């Protein structure tokens, strides 16, 4: 990640044009950040019986920033029993880790904002107030997610096929900046693994192929995403 920013100061004025706040920036707007990542993945599948397929895998990741060895197991099953008239059931569950966002991890290298606050008569009422970020990589861990999916697919007649799929995602240890105690006129924010995310979605899909080559697809998705730190 490489950044080159040339910021200028700005002013915030009230409706009557009096100065309310003046902001300037200190520090360098040019910096860079590198990371080295390596991954291994193993996967196998079994067919215990006709119409039943089981796939299992595990992934291992490591990077030079967080430095924790990450192990992510996954399991998926697809089942198409004859008594269901061609319907197919599928389910999967796995652990996933987000790739590290170098922009987030390098926020502390960026410039610092310095604010001055003024009353309507032009008097300085507060400041200079400095806002900056702190990152302690030795305390950070990789954000972790557990994904689960469940699907049903079958023929609807007339050459149409329908599918209903449910996705459930739960994340924890996500990165977010939180306020820190400051000894003086400062706004300090530290990076922590304090974010939790919930995601649920149900999607409906119908498809049909005409003349063996023209495919028509229609779909609808209903989803909900919630987080305690955005």
Ranges of H-type helices in 44-195: 102-105
Query: Which two structure tokens, joined as six digits, stand for 85?
Result: 């008239």
Give the global pTM: 0.76
Q: Is 211 exposed, middle or buried (0-12, 13-18, 19+ CB in 10 A)?
A: exposed
> Which single residue is written with the structure tokens 């590290």?
100
Partners of 22 in the beta sheet? 11, 116
Residue from 198, 197, 195 nearest 173 by CA: 195
The tens-digit pLDDT sequence of the chain (230 residues) is 999 998 999 999 999 999 999 999 998 889 998 999 999 999 999 999 888 999 999 999 999 888 889 999 999 999 998 887 779 999 999 999 988 888 889 989 999 999 999 999 989 998 899 998 999 988 899 999 999 999 999 888 888 899 999 999 999 999 999 999 877 788 899 999 999 999 999 999 999 988 778 889 999 999 999 999 87
């Amino acid at each position: 990640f490489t950044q080159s920013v040339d910021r200028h100061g700005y002013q915030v004025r009230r409706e009557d044009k009096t100065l309310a706040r003046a902001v300037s920036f200190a520090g360098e707007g040019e910096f860079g950040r590198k990371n080295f990542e390596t991954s291994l993945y193993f996967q196998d599948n079994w067919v215990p019986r006709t119409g039943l397929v089981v796939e299992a895998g595990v992934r291992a990741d490591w990077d030079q920033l967080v430095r924790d060895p990450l192990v992510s197991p996954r399991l998926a099953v697809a089942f198409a029993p004859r008594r269901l008239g061609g319907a197919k059931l599928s389910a999967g569950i796995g652990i996933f880790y987000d790739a590290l966002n170098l922009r987030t991890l390098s926020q502390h290298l960026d410039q610092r904002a310095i604010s001055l606050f003024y009353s309507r008569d032009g008097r300085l009422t507060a400041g200079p107030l400095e806002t900056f970020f702190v990152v302690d990589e030795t305390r950070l861990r990789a954000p972790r997610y557990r994904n689960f999916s469940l699907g049903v697919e079958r023929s609807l007649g007339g050459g149409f096929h329908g599918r209903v799929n449910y996705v459930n995602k739960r994340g924890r240890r996500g990165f977010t900046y939180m306020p820190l105690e400051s000894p003086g006129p400062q706004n300090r924010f530290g990076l922590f693994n304090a974010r939790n995310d919930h995601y649920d979605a149900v999607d409906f899909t119908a498809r049909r192929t005409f003349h063996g080559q023209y495919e028509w697809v229609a779909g609808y998705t209903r989803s909900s995403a919630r987080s305690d730190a955005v």
